[in-house]
A and B are shown apart, each in its own frame.
Chain A
Amino acid sequence: MSVTFRFGTPGDLTAPSADRLTVGDPRIVDFLAKLARKLLAPAVARKHPELGSLGYFLRPAELHRAVEKMRRDDALIFPRGNVFHLPPANVDTIFVYSWALSALAGNHNVVRISSRSAGAAETILDALGEVAADADPIVARTQRMVTYGHDDAITGALSTWCDLRVIWGGDNAVDTIRKLPLRPSARDLTFPDRTSWAVLSTAGWRAADPAARRAAVVGFANDAYWFDQAACSSPRTVFLVGGDGDEVRAEFLTLLLEVVDARGWVVDPAMAVEKRVNAYGLAAIGAAGALDFPDNRITALTLTGTEAAPRYWIGAGAFPFAEAGSLLDLVPAMNRQDQTVSHFGFTPAELQAFATELGGRGVDRIVPFGSALTFGAIWDGYDLPAEFTRLTVLQP
């Protein structure tokens, strides 16, 4: 069995440890704050803009706020214990968010980093290593990141070691890993396949001034293009809500192309083919009635109905469009798989009515354009700080 240590003190991953951390342990807070500073350095932010959001999330003020939220009046709060994280291979920042919150809660963590990690993930691992050099050694002893192959023996050992197993990734990952048993007292926190949408009010769009429209499109472009539209919260289908969407859609796409141009984003040939394969496929089954390829970086499809919206990835910069009379009309098309709805141009009352009507049967996050990828302590319907801690009741 071969395990490569990417961060933390090498050694037996499942050996008992005498180290004890507390919820909001100052040594962890100090470590994460220093990590934030590294990630927010201009050179890093230029190269990997998505790390800027991560750095922001790890600033001391944010960390203290998160810790404050963990405190309760009715119970003592402690770390959950050992947490084993299985983050996805290709969304480079997810593993840090989930690990950092768990570390902040005082847990001993083992994070399996995919051997296919690259780019931003490598930058993060470098930054972690540099910060650790000056940090309290307890950090490196209790927080470990490792890479190993698809080895059920190792995953199995870590599964019986942990109190909480965090499985990010799709349904297949969850099903595969769940075959390996946990201790009776432990449990899984799973993040299965999700779909996310964008909703655009045509009335709200018309009422917005040009600067607001442009800002909305900039936000939408970041949401869609940062992870090649494949993060679980990346918007896929755009619902034009309120009627007369043609003109709005045309202007939206024109602005989107301008933003994409300005950022210098490119689409590689394989992705361009992928988008055509999927777009033609949707046309062939009658889900898309019109295909537009205004530019290689944007594929626009006109869906034949809201229920025709695909729930699988169709490529980077591939946008099916569908029209709906009102947000409430979309409710029947939403289900438990749906995670984030990013919005523009709606009143708070409209969004509230939409959320209320959904009734928790689908959609975990309703956020403005530009915030779809912004990670939060409440994610996929879970209160993560609560998941990463345990409560002791004390009645004197």
Chain B
Amino acid sequence: MSVFTLSQSEKESVLLKELSALTEHHRERCEPYARILDASGFVAASAVSELPYLPVRLFKNLELKSIPDDEVFKVLTSSGTTGEVSRIYLDKAAAAEQQRRLAATVQTVLGPKRLPMLLVDTKAMLKDRRSFSARGAGVLGMSTFGRDHVWALDNDGAVDLDAIRGFLEKHGGQPFLIFGFTYLVWLHLYEVARDNGLDLGNGILIHSGGWKKLIDQAVSPSAFREALAGVGLTDVHNYYGMVEQIGTIFLEGPSGGSLYCPDFADVVVRDPETWAELPPGKPGLLEVVSTLPTSYPGHVLLTEDLGVVHGIDDGDWPGKRFSVLGRLPRAEARGCSDTYRSAA
């Protein structure tokens, strides 16, 4: 079963219909959202790129939900870089659906069975409430797709070589799942495997997180893949996703180098000058769309990430394939009001 099946034109006609209906659904149920649409003069869209988008940061500033308070089943939070927190409201149905779709997406590369799982992180991280929301939620969400979990880092965050060795002795001969944040995988798995001659050949790596820390060390995404291949790890899938569109992940295809959109999601790259959609090859602001957000108006979101579409219907899977190029730096006021503000 795959969730990467629809060609771009098929997908767009499905998405336009569903997302237009979702737009009306949220317009009826979320007053702040309705006000935004009214103020923008939105009537109807004849293409996915014409759907009204919300800047993702609005979820940090406003309470945006399309369900009554007594149907709120789960509130997800993410700590942003500036200390503001996004709040995402899910009802039971939305929570179940996002988990189901996430499973379907990762099963595309993992297969239907749960695999033994090596987590490139520390269990202690789950206890730290502050980092729990961002990193912990990601780890917890993904851990349900594995079994016989082993943590690669001890409670102090140091590499637990014995644990990794033990895991590989027990499960290394069969396919197993590795999950972790990209820079942790680089620092605490790749380098350890290289230096200790560990065989990760049967591993399927799913990793995410900003590339900035690695780019700072002059490790590009392609260098990352090449280096991992050197320790036998060739089944490697980066992904891109955010708490504001929980359940939707854009997954790297088997050949690497590009992220793909599941059938229920898509990306639009916008020119930050004209706001028009950009063709493949032109980098711009990334907009993410997904049919999963039914309990809050997060179905069309303008991110603060830069991205580029590399091609359409020409890769491992159909639809758009793209890359995330990094974060747009925040705008800084040259104002009078920052005499003694702590430097970031």
Interface size on B, as a range, is 35 or more
In the complex, which of the residues A88, A277, A280 contacts B335, with contact meaning CB atoms closer than 8 Å?
A88
**A298-338 at interface with B (beta carbon < 8 Å):** 302, 313, 315-316
**A267-311 at interface with B (beta carbon < 8 Å):** 268-274, 276-277, 280-281, 283-286, 288-291, 293, 296, 302
Answer yes or no: B144 CB below 8 A from chain A CBs: no
In the complex, which of the residues A170, A273, A276, A293 contacts B338, with contact meaning CB atoms closer than 8 Å?
A170
Min CB–CB distance B261 → chain A (angstroms): 22
In the complex, which of the residues B275, B330, B331, B337 contacts A88, with contact meaning CB atoms closer than 8 Å?
B337
Tell me whether B336 and A277 are in contact (CB under 8 A).
no
Chain B positions 255 through 286: 1 when the CB is less than 8 Å from some CB of chain A, otherwise 0: 00000000000000000111100000000010
Query: Considering the chains assembled together, what is the distance between the CA atoms of A191 and B340 in angstroms?
Result: 13
Q: Which A residues are CB-close (under 8 A) to B41?
A: 290
Tell me whether A269 and B334 are in contact (CB under 8 A).
no
Answer yes or no: B333 CB below 8 A from chain A CBs: yes
Query: Considering the chains assembled together, what is the distance between the CA atoms of A194 and B343 in angstroms?
Result: 22
Report the nearest A residue to B61, measured CB to CB: A281
Tell me whether B338 and A173 are in contact (CB under 8 A).
yes
Tell me whether A231 and B273 are in contact (CB under 8 A).
no
Tell me whether B333 and A88 are in contact (CB under 8 A).
no
Min CB–CB distance B296 → chain A (angstroms): 13
Given contacts A277-B58, A288-B39, A296-B273, contact A271 B340 (CB under 8 A): no
Tell me whether A284 and B35 are in contact (CB under 8 A).
yes
**A35-91 at interface with B (beta carbon < 8 Å):** 86-91
Chain B positions 300 through 333: 1 when the CB is less than 8 Å from some CB of chain A, otherwise 0: 0010100000000000000000000000111111
Query: Considering the chains assembled together, what is the distance between the CA atoms of A277 and B334 in angstroms?
Result: 18
- On chain A, the number of residues with a Cβ less than 8 Å from chain B's Cβ atoms is 54
Q: Which B residues are CB-close (under 8 A) to A227?
A: 334-335
Query: In the complex, how many residue pairs between chain A and chain B have their CB atoms under 8 Å apart?
Result: 143
**B95-123 at interface with A (beta carbon < 8 Å):** none
In the complex, which of the residues B36, B285, B302, B343 contacts A284, with contact meaning CB atoms closer than 8 Å?
B36
Query: Considering the chains assembled together, what is the distance between the CA atoms of A271 and B342 in angstroms?
Result: 21
Q: Which A residues are CB-close (under 8 A) to B274?
A: 296
Given contacts A90-B335, A231-B334, A290-B41, contact A270 B329 (CB under 8 A): yes
Chain A positions 124 through 146: 1 when the CB is less than 8 Å from some CB of chain B, otherwise 0: 00000000000000000000000
Tell me whether A273 and B334 are in contact (CB under 8 A).
no
Report whether over half of chain B's contact residues are helix, strand or loop; otherwise say mixed.
loop
**B30-45 at interface with A (beta carbon < 8 Å):** 32-33, 35-36, 38-41
Q: Which A residues are CB-close (under 8 A) to B333?
A: 90, 228, 230, 313
In the complex, which of the residues B32, B61, B285, B334 contacts A90, with contact meaning CB atoms closer than 8 Å?
B334
Chain B positions 55 through 66: 1 when the CB is less than 8 Å from some CB of chain A, otherwise 0: 101100110100
Most interface-central of B39, B54, B304, B332 (chain A CB within 10 A): B39
Tell me whether B340 and A177 are in contact (CB under 8 A).
yes
Query: Considering the chains assembled together, what is the distance between the CA atoms of A86 and B274 in angstroms?
Result: 40
Answer yes or no: B339 CB below 8 A from chain A CBs: yes
Tell me whether B331 and A231 are in contact (CB under 8 A).
no
Tell me whether A271 and B338 are in contact (CB under 8 A).
no
Tell me whether A89 and B339 are in contact (CB under 8 A).
yes
Min CB–CB distance A9 → chain B (angstroms): 25
**B134-164 at interface with A (beta carbon < 8 Å):** none
In the complex, which of the residues A86, A115, A273 contacts B343, with contact meaning CB atoms closer than 8 Å?
A115
Tell me whether A172 and B331 are in contact (CB under 8 A).
no
Q: Which B residues are CB-close (under 8 A) to A286?
A: 35
Query: Considering the chains assembled together, what is the distance between the CA atoms of A88 and B285 in angstroms?
Result: 32
Query: Considering the chains assembled together, what is the distance between the CA atoms of A168 and B342 in angstroms?
Result: 15
Min CB–CB distance B37 → chain A (angstroms): 9
Q: Which A residues are CB-close (under 8 A) to B61?
A: 277, 281
Query: Considering the chains assembled together, what is the distance between the CA atoms of A173 and B336 in angstroms?
Result: 10
Report the nearest B residue to A90, measured CB to CB: B334
Q: List 9 A-B contacts (CB under 8 A).
A: A228-B333, A230-B333, A232-B337, A268-B331, A274-B331, A281-B62, A284-B35, A288-B39, A313-B333
The 7 closest A-B CB pairs, nearest first, are A169-B339, A170-B337, A230-B335, A269-B272, A284-B32, A173-B339, A283-B39
Q: Identify the A interface with B (CB < 8 A).
A: 86-92, 94, 114-116, 150, 167-173, 176-177, 191, 193-194, 227-228, 230-232, 268-274, 276-277, 280-281, 283-286, 288-291, 293, 296, 302, 313, 315-316
9 extra A-B contacts, CB within 8 A, seeds A170-B338, A227-B334, A268-B331: A88-B336, A91-B334, A150-B340, A273-B272, A274-B331, A276-B55, A281-B61, A290-B41, A315-B331
